[in-house]
Amino acid sequence: MNNTYPKLFLTTDNNTNFVVIKKTCSTNRKEKIMEKFEELIQSEKPVLVDFFATWCGPCKAMHPVLEELKGQIGEAARIVKIDVDQHEELAAKYRIQAVPTLLYSRKGKLFGAIPE
């Protein structure tokens, strides 16, 4: 997958072609990840965001479904996986209250279960 985001923050899983937000500890890096995530969802290309947890059974069950979807849509859209335990700030910002939660973004407009 070709993207303009620094590999320090966003990587592509070679097995699935999902965009994965890397774990980070420093406040500065967390802020940069928030900025890069915002840029990603503002892009022209549609983005499906999967907020998940590694301990979550339904999240694990969703993984092959997302792999199949990525195989069908190819480069027409991105799938981004965000571990809510590693990125609590993103989960809080988007009011994620349960996992898995899927949000869809197109040109910065989010669709999904985001309470007002």
Tell me the pLDDT tens digit for each residue of 48-75: 999 999 999 999 999 999 999 999 999 9
The pair phi, psi for residue 111, each rounded to 5°, is -125, 140
Average pLDDT of every residue of the chain: 80
Which H helix or E strand runs over 41?
Answer: helix 27-41
With bands split at pLDDT 50, 70 and 90, how would you rate the model's confidence at 114?
low
Catalytic residue positions, numbered: 56, 59
Given a contact cutoff of 8 angstroms between Cβ atoms, the answer to whether 99 and 59 are in contact is yes
Instruction: Output the pTM of the full model.
Output: 0.75
Given a contact cutoff of 8 angstroms between Cβ atoms, the answer to whether 41 and 47 are in contact is yes
